[in-house]
Amino acid sequence: MHRLDRETSGIVIFAKNIESKVQLQDHWKATEKKYLAVVHGQCAKTSGTITTYLAENRAHIVYSTSDRTQGKLSTTGYRVRRQTKDFALLELDLVTGRKHQIRVHLAGIGHAVVGDQKYGKRDRGHTRLALHASSISFKHPFLGQQLTFESPVPAYFNQLVGKIDLAP
């Protein structure tokens, strides 16, 4: 139904039949997707929105551009949930869903995702990508009821930023 980067952990949904697939695709913009990421550094702002145009070069590297003719408008909301001396745990709202959007946006504001070998800094001590699809919420394609699925925080995140409690 949708995709995650190979190294990203968490929830993926699949349609069981073509009718469900079409219904889910038709309402995909209304689907709420939340992610968690552990990033390098301490964030100066406790929340914000990152909006850029994303484009991809011939080497399949995605990058931000201010040229709307080159890229597609992309928006990521974030909120700091915890900070340590070296890292910050961010909760991310994916407003649009472009290839490598979260990774490029966070690297662009100076807070690359821990373990991101493509867009982050080389760090031999942290080679696993600290990006997790934590929840997805959508209306059932036929019954209309709101469904929400959550995935527990990976133990790796607790190793990076300590015990995580995501209660509001």
The answer to whether the beta carbons of residues 80 and 88 sit under 8 Å apart is: yes
23-27, 85-89, 99-103: the lowest-pLDDT one? 23-27
List, by residue number, the catalytic residues: 5
- Residue 3, pLDDT score: 65
Q: How far apart are CA 95 and CA 88, in angstroms?
A: 21
- Residue 156, pLDDT score: 93
Question: Residue range 135-155: average pLDDT?
Answer: 92
> 25 by DSSP, 3-state: which?
helix
> 26 by DSSP, 3-state: which?
helix
Question: Residue range 107-129: average pLDDT?
Answer: 89
- Residue 97, pLDDT score: 85
Q: What does the pLDDT look like over 89-101, one tens digit per residue?
A: 999 998 888 999 9
- Residue 168, pLDDT score: 63
- Average pLDDT of the chain is 91
- Residue 1, pLDDT score: 46
Percent of the chain with pLDDT over 90: 68
Annotate 96-108 with DSSP letters as a single string.
Answer: S--TTHHHHHHHH
